[in-house]
Every structure is written in C-alpha cells, then in structure tokens.
C-alpha cells in the first residue's frame, strides 16, 4: 500500500522519488544474487570484536569522531586520520558529499547509467545535475565530461555495468577539472579495479569513497568511508556534525576495525568471488549471453533471444533473485551478483532449464 502525500508534508519532499533497494526476501531457501552482498560470512575476527564490544559500555555514546577506526583506515592507505571520514554505510557518505561538496551553481555530472541513488540525493538536496551518456560499449569516456560542471561523480567500477575505468583516465579527469570535486565511488574496487586512493596526496579535488558492505561482507553493519585531503574531509565533518554526531555505533566501529585488520580473510573471499565471476561469465557466454567485462562482484548480461524481464521472473519462480532495471538502454539486461561457486552452478542449471 502506498500512502499518498499529505498537506502535513514539507513542500520540498512532495515530489521526491526515493531509491528502491533490491528485494530482501522473507523465508528460507532463496539464492540472493540481487543486491551485491557477499555470499561469504564476514571475518570471524570482526564478529568476535562486535561480540566483545556488546557489553555494559553500550550505555555510553560512541566516539563521535570514530578516531581509532579512522586511524586504521588511514594507515591502510598511507594517509592521516584527518584525511579519512567514516559514515553509516557509504550511502550516507555519498549523501553528505552531495550536501557538502557537490551542490553548486553548475550541475554535478554523473553517467546516465549508474548507481540510481545519485539522482535521488541530487533531488533531495536540490543539487543541479546532468547525466552524461556512457559510450555504446557502456564505458565512461572521460572526454565527455568536458563541460561546465560543479563536480563529477563516478563509480569505479561502474554499477550496474561492472565496467572499470583505468587509473590513467581518472588522473586525466582530475587534471582536466582542477576546480571541481571529483568523487570516485569505489564500492566494488576490491574485485579488480585500480583504486584512486593513492592519488589523494596529489589532488586536492579528489574524494574516494569505499564501503565494507561488499568486499568485507558487512552490509549489515553499515560502515563506509571517504579518503581525501583534509579540506574535503572537514566539509563532510561539518555537515555530519550538523546532522548526527554518532552515525557509527560502538559495535560498528569495533567490527569495522577488526575487519580491516583481517587481510587473510579479505584476500581469500575476494579471490573466490573473482574466480567464480570468471567461471560464471564463461558459462553464460557459452549459453549465448552477452556479458560486459566485469571488475565487480556482479555480471551485467543480456540474452539476444530471451528478454530480461521474463528471465528474471523465471529465475524468481526457482527461488533465485537477480536484479532487473526498468530503464532505457538497459531494460534487457540483468545484473547478477556473484554467489558462492555452488550458487553460481545452481544459477546456471536454472538458466539451462529456462532456456530449454
């Protein structure tokens, strides 16, 4: 049931269209390949740290600056804590970035096919924006961003395509737009793209955003972070402190820190995901799917003879969830999250049934 707008609502929110997250099914037995979560459990060390933090200290507010966590993130990237911002998921970090850094006279630019939260934030904060079409191969062409702008926002790899931009292109973009903030959303970078984090000391206009939701298997903990020079981080902090002093609770701060310290678990699970992605891409290609080259934990695929909406429905009937976007240019594509190898194999078996 949708509740209609009421006169009690603030005028500015009456026309808003909120982001619609992928389905979280109730009940057992689903293979969830629709929201890019990790199919593997989080680091056991993160779970132990969360349990250890769940004690009587919960009566106290958490550290509003999340300093210990920011230091852990900073040392991982060779930066200072003043160059790190943490938030309640990278969605929150991106929302604060729209408010703090991307709301100018000129429009913020982002691709026409990208994370569908970006236009939602832009509308929420009243930020002017322009969508720049991906090229016919669904890649970002940095030269297409040569137009007046009040900031540039790119996911790398892009979602839902999985296509990555080489670091040289990001460097060129930063050089070509020295007076614009360039935000690189690296939600999927650990699955095979090159991070722009190393460019932070060189470019005062660069903000890199990452999350623990995908490659660290902690979507339920809600931790994301941004890396940038102190002036950009300070803008995010001012907005955060004008909104919520404590976006990260004690459990999230403790769990995130322990997760970031568990290099072996991170490396093992991400390599498993990459291996299954390559296996699944080959299996789907052998069945006639066109499959974009993915550097993420998902594949973006289309079949010339089987429309995506019908395929999604047929898989749903077999209790396998994948994501379909009713949007121009991509409404015949499916975005399929890489599950465990066994889940990928069950998906392929289901597809064989459907195509038969």
Ligand X SMILES: *Cc1c(COP(=O)(O)O)cnc(C)c1O
Q: Please, where are the H alpha helices in 54-166? A: 67-77, 89-101, 117-125
Stretch that binds ligand X, among 5-13, 46-54, 69-77, 84-92 (CB under 6 A): 84-92
**Residue with Cβ nearer ligand X (40 or 201):** 40
Please provide the distance, in angstroms rounded to a whole number, between the alpha carbons at the two ends of the chain.
37
Stretch that binds ligand X, among 21-29, 85-93, 313-321, 340-348 (CB under 6 A): 85-93
* Residue 297 Cβ vs ligand X, minimum distance, rounded to whole Å: 10
Q: What are phi and psi of 97, to 5 degrees?
A: -65, -40
CA distance 57 to 182: 39
Q: Which of 43, 83, 90, 276 binds ligand X (CB under 6 A)?
A: 90
- Asked if 89 is part of the footprint of ligand X (rule: CB under 6 A), the reply reads yes
Q: How large is the C-alpha radius of gyration of the chain?
A: 20
CA distance 182 to 93: 14
- Asked if 34 is part of the footprint of ligand X (rule: CB under 6 A), the reply reads no
Q: Report whether 347 contacts 320 (CB < 8 A).
A: yes
- Asked if 97 is part of the footprint of ligand X (rule: CB under 6 A), the reply reads no
- Closest-by-Cβ residue to ligand X is 89
The DSSP element (H or E) to which 208 belongs, if any, is strand 206-211
* Residue 242 Cβ vs ligand X, minimum distance, rounded to whole Å: 20
Stretch that binds ligand X, among 8-16, 44-52, 89-97, 241-249 (CB under 6 A): 89-97
* Residue 125 Cβ vs ligand X, minimum distance, rounded to whole Å: 17
Question: In the block, which residue shows the tokens 């609502």?
Answer: 9
Q: Report whether 264 contacts 132 (CB < 8 A).
A: no
Q: How many residues bind ligand X (CB under 6 A)?
A: 13
- Asked if 95 is part of the footprint of ligand X (rule: CB under 6 A), the reply reads no
**Residue with Cβ nearer ligand X (164 or 351):** 164
- Helix 263-286 with 341-355: angle, nearest 10 deg: 20
**Residue with Cβ nearer ligand X (98 or 306):** 98
* Residue 24 Cβ vs ligand X, minimum distance, rounded to whole Å: 13
The token pair at 194 is: 């090159």
CA distance 206 to 77: 14
* Residue 352 Cβ vs ligand X, minimum distance, rounded to whole Å: 29
- Asked if 185 is part of the footprint of ligand X (rule: CB under 6 A), the reply reads yes
* Residue 14 Cβ vs ligand X, minimum distance, rounded to whole Å: 26
* Residue 185 Cβ vs ligand X, minimum distance, rounded to whole Å: 5
CA distance 270 to 175: 32
Residues 265-294 that bind ligand X (CB under 6 A): none
- Asked if 224 is part of the footprint of ligand X (rule: CB under 6 A), the reply reads yes
- Asked if 219 is part of the footprint of ligand X (rule: CB under 6 A), the reply reads yes
* Residue 5 Cβ vs ligand X, minimum distance, rounded to whole Å: 27
- Asked if 187 is part of the footprint of ligand X (rule: CB under 6 A), the reply reads yes
- Asked if 159 is part of the footprint of ligand X (rule: CB under 6 A), the reply reads yes
Q: Which of 73, 91, 140, 311 binds ligand X (CB under 6 A)?
A: 91
Is the backbone of residue 259 left (phi > 0), alpha (psi -120 to 50) or beta?
Answer: alpha
* Residue 211 Cβ vs ligand X, minimum distance, rounded to whole Å: 3
Q: Which residues contact 28 (CB under 8 A, 6 or more apart)?
A: none
The DSSP element (H or E) to which 274 belongs, if any, is helix 263-286
Q: Report whether 205 contacts 211 (CB < 8 A).
A: no
Q: Which of 77, 85, 115, 145 binds ligand X (CB under 6 A)?
A: 115
- DSSP characters over 291-338: E----SSEEEEE-SSS-HHHHHHHHHHTTEEEEE--STTTTT-EEEE-
- Asked if 211 is part of the footprint of ligand X (rule: CB under 6 A), the reply reads yes
Q: Give contact residues for ligand X (rule: CB under 6 A).
A: 36, 89-91, 115, 155, 159, 185, 187, 211, 213, 219, 224
């Amino acid at each position: 049931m949708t509740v209609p707008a009421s006169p009690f609502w603030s005028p500015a929110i009456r026309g808003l269209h909120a982001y619609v997250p992928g389905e979280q099914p109730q009940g057992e037995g689903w293979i969830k390949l629709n929201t890019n979560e990790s199919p593997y459990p989080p680091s056991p060390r993160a779970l132990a740290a969360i349990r250890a933090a769940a004690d009587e200290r919960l009566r106290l507010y958490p550290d509003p600056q999340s300093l210990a966590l920011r230091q852990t993130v900073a040392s991982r990237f060779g930066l200072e804590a003043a160059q790190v911002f943490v938030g309640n998921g990278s969605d929150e970090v991106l929302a604060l970035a729209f408010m703090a850094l991307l709301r100018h006279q000129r429009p913020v630019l982002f691709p026409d096919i990208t994370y569908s939260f970006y236009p939602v934030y832009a509308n929420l904060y009243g930020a002017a924006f322009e969508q720049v079409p991906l090229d016919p191969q669904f890649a970002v062409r940095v030269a297409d961003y040569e137009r007046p702008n009040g900031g540039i926002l790119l996911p790398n790899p892009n979602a839902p395509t999985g296509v990555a931009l080489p670091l040289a292109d990001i460097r060129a973009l930063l050089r070509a737009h020295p007076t614009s903030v360039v935000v690189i959303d690296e939600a999927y970078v650990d699955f095979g793209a090159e991070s722009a984090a190393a460019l932070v000391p060189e470019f005062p206009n660069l903000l890199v955003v990452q999350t623990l939701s995908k490659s660290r298997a902690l979507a339920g903990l809600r931790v994301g972070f941004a890396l940038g020079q102190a002036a950009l981080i300070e803008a995010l902090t001012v907005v955060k402190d004008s909104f919520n002093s404590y976006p990260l609770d004690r459990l999230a701060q403790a769990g995130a820190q322990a997760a970031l310290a568990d290099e072996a678990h991170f490396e093992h699970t991400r390599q498993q995901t990459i291996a299954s992605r390559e296996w699944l891409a080959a299996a789907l290609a052998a069945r006639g799917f066109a499959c974009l080259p993915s550097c993420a934990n998902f594949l973006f695929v289309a079949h010339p003879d089987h429309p995506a909406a019908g395929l999604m429905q047929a898989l749903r009937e077999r209790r396998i969830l994948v994501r379909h976007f009713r949007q121009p240019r991509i409404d015949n594509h499916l975005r399929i999250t890489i599950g465990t190898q066994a889940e990928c194999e069950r998906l392929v078996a289901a597809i064989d049934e459907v195509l038969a």
